[in-house]
Structure 1
Amino acid sequence: VLSSESKKLGVEIFTSTPAKKILKAPNGNVTAVLVERKGEPFTITTKSVIIASGGYGGNKELLKKYCLNYRDNMKCDGLPHTGDGLLMAMEIGAATEGLGLLLLSGPQIPQAAALKLGTNPDNSMIAPLMAVALEPDTLWLNKRGKRYVDESTTYHHFMSSNAVNMQPENLTFTILDHKMVEMKAKDGLLIGLGRSGHEEQRSGMPGLERELNRQAGKDWLKIADTWDEIADWMGADRKVLKASVEEYNQACDKGHDQIFAKDRAHLVPLRTPPYYAIKGNSDFLDTIGGIKINEHMEVLDKQDNPIPGLYAAGVVAGGWQADTYCDILSGAASGFAYNSGRIAGENAAEFISAK
């Protein structure tokens, strides 16, 4: 819609035309953008530029340089932009704010494994194994065999991702027993219901046990009859892992989690072999932040003065998000993108008209 309406107003849209450099006059005003079109340099003269180029989730060099919680086993689940707009702004003196923030997601299962669920394996529902691993009534352990979080933070996806990211090697292991697998197969999942947890909306997952057995032996799933075997596969100390499981089971029996205060509705003991361990890690959807702006979406220099004619919008702009993306406010990133783009456009138009 925006594209067609823009064309009606005479707007020219260039695709396959990467911007390479923003040019300024001696007085500091933006004057042009150097782009590459059909393999040749091309200069677009302008009085104003809006940078809305997304993040830098596809640029490992920038991720390692700026993102302290980036790990080599993480992947970008969103669009792998390379940070060109951020770099061009910094090149002409733009200050940065919030640089290095990742919009984390997880736990994620390596290779996004899928399960074929249903009574007919050849014509059945496809569900990600990740959904089982995210259940709030499971047990989450780190690589050392220690429990590290209230598992029901999974309802706040980015909070649980932060917890995973803080663990050794950015790894987590979801633990279930056979009784829980049978329960999930019969009653279905909790996580797909959001925070309301309406039991009547749940549907079973027939074939779950069969599919888990079929996936057994992959490097992200272990099924074993003893906790020692689970610990050995995880690389954890046997005594530490068994102590963690025992402490958790005792909390379930009491209906009170004195360590992390997990809701008693999600406290389910794990005592029936075989036991299941699903390995995962945190990934990220995008980067947030970078270019410092004011309330008019004007790009600021290192003295907090606007660079005349330069604006930024969307996740390339910094300062609108703290250290954790707010998943409780659904659409926060897209909402900011829409409105920051609108505000930048209005102010850019006003800037041009005033000249």
Structure 2
Amino acid sequence: MIEGHCDPDFENVGRVFRANFLERGEQGAAVAVYRDGRLVVDMWGGWADAAKTRPWTSDTIICMMSVGKGMAALCVWMLVDRGLIDIDRPVAHYWPGFGQAGKEGITVATLIAGKAGLLYADHAPDGAGYDWATMIDALERQEPEWAPGKDHAYHSATAGYLLGELVRRVDGRTVDRFLAEEVSGPLHADYGYGAAWADPDRVADVLPNCNSHTFVQTRDQSTKLGRAWRMRPQSDDHYNDPRMRSGLMPSTNGHGNARSVARIYAALAQGGTLDGVRLVSPETIDRMRAETWFGTCAMTDRTFRYAHGFFLNEPLMSPMGTNPRAFGHPGAGGALGFADPENRIAFSYSPSLMCEGGGLGERCKALSDAVYA
């Protein structure tokens, strides 16, 4: 059931991918690695549904959860690179309605670094997450949890809206359209928000894990993550809900596969350009991955190492090989995409079965480690 190819120099990745199915409970997944702009690992296997009736194929896609926040951050940085956004200017300069409830002085840099304190959308009705206008109105009225810049946290539920609306205010296009027209389309990468653009038969089911900290806490409104995700419509199977596959919730509903996400990060590992498609400059990449904080996240109480809209390599929570300057974005349950510009490597993993705990799990870490072994 394992298919695809693996260059001889990376055969250890292939061995680990097979071992994940035999030894670590993998159900369905894909892994991809680019080096020097070339796809050197492209493997997939297992099943695309819980009943094991649909094999995972070369073009299967799946919800990769918060991997989509990194894509939203990339869209913002592309506008910075083009001179359309100055990260030191207040967000309200581009989005006037944002400048209320104590947010007047929040700069783009503070926002994208996770220091704005906008963890919640308390003014949104329960279940309003797919109503963009309602969510933006709620965030305009939201009071920061702390004086902007004083503390830091992973903006688990709100980052996609905040960065996505900034893109819309500056460029005029919604963030899903911008991503499709400026990133995924030109790079021929099979990735986008929701999955309405894909044949439904290509979409694999996410298999929840009751031992996943994110899965448990987001369903419990007494927790900070539960308060943040209160705006997500209630469903017995919200990861595979039709609204998840058709709406726009860029904090969580980006759909794609390892090959497509690795291809996007391959451009960032190559100085911002791949196969003639330019996303950003090398100088902008260095600004994107400059460390802004390393410590306990005020949302999750986990230890993260954070840049500007991206996570930095950290062995426990965001394992990205051996280069401390590698950067990317994880997704709840174990999905990951990252770029390592110094080694010109890009990596992605897209599983169906969510991992246990609060990190990326042993399956993802084993694959990431294998790339460098």
Give the alignment's TM-score, normalised by structure 2.
0.25
Tell me which structure has the larger Cα radius of gyration. 1
- TM-score (structure 1 length as normaliser): 0.26
